[in-house]
Amino acid sequence: MAEKTHTPPAAKQVSPDTFMEWLLSALLVEGTQSLVVEDVSVDKRLRLAVNVLESAALTYRRSGQTDLALQILDVLEDLRPDPNTGSMSGFWSAMRRQQPLRARFPNPRYRELEINTVPHTAKRTALEIPHPWDALVRQTAEKIAHAS
């Protein structure tokens, strides 16, 4: 991913695509370079990662910070598993939107996501994530990177 020298997106509005961009950088920083698509254990970790966001949204709502809760919900709408089939297709779809520059799903089976970001750029991107998203992205990446 290209490193822009101007101000990163402000904390006030974060799109699901921006979140995914941050998440990919954070995953690389955590040492994860690839993820298997629709793998049971990966999907389980993704659900735990979704839980982190849901839990944060809930906390913000309870503490009266509804704007933040709603922003997290914006991200969650793309990333949540389908409630009736359990499919994480929303998450993978959001990841596919990061192609070809930050992510790729190489031939022949397209069943593995490879993070395509340059490591030093990923580090810098991860450092530039505004508060409070920095902690959320880090915790989400930790859940995905490390099996519980």
Q: Does 63 bind other proteins (CB under 8 A)?
A: no
Cβ distance to other proteins smaller for residue 9 or 132: 9
In angstroms, the Cα distances linking 129 to 6, 21, 31 are 13, 10, 18
Nearest Cα to 98, choosing from 11, 8, 22? 22
Q: Does 89 bind other proteins (CB under 8 A)?
A: yes
Per CB under 8 A, the list member of 36, 41, 63, 70 interacting with other proteins is 70
Q: Cβ 105 to other proteins, closest distance in Å?
A: 8
Q: Does 132 bind other proteins (CB under 8 A)?
A: no
Instruction: Report how far residue 25's alpha carbon sits from residue 34's, in angstroms, rounded to the nearest whole number.
Output: 12
Written as one string, the DSSP assignment of 58-124 is: HHHHHTT-HHHHHHHHHHHHHHSPPTTT---HHHHHHHHTTTTTTEE--TTT--EEEE-S-HHHHHH
Q: Which of residues 16-55 bind other proteins (CB under 8 A)?
A: 16-18, 33, 38, 40, 43-44, 47-48, 51-52, 54-55
Name the residues that contact other proteins, by CB under 8 A. 1-6, 9, 13, 15-18, 33, 38, 40, 43-44, 47-48, 51-52, 54-55, 57-58, 61, 66, 69-70, 73, 76-78, 80-90, 93, 96-97, 99-102, 105, 110, 115-120
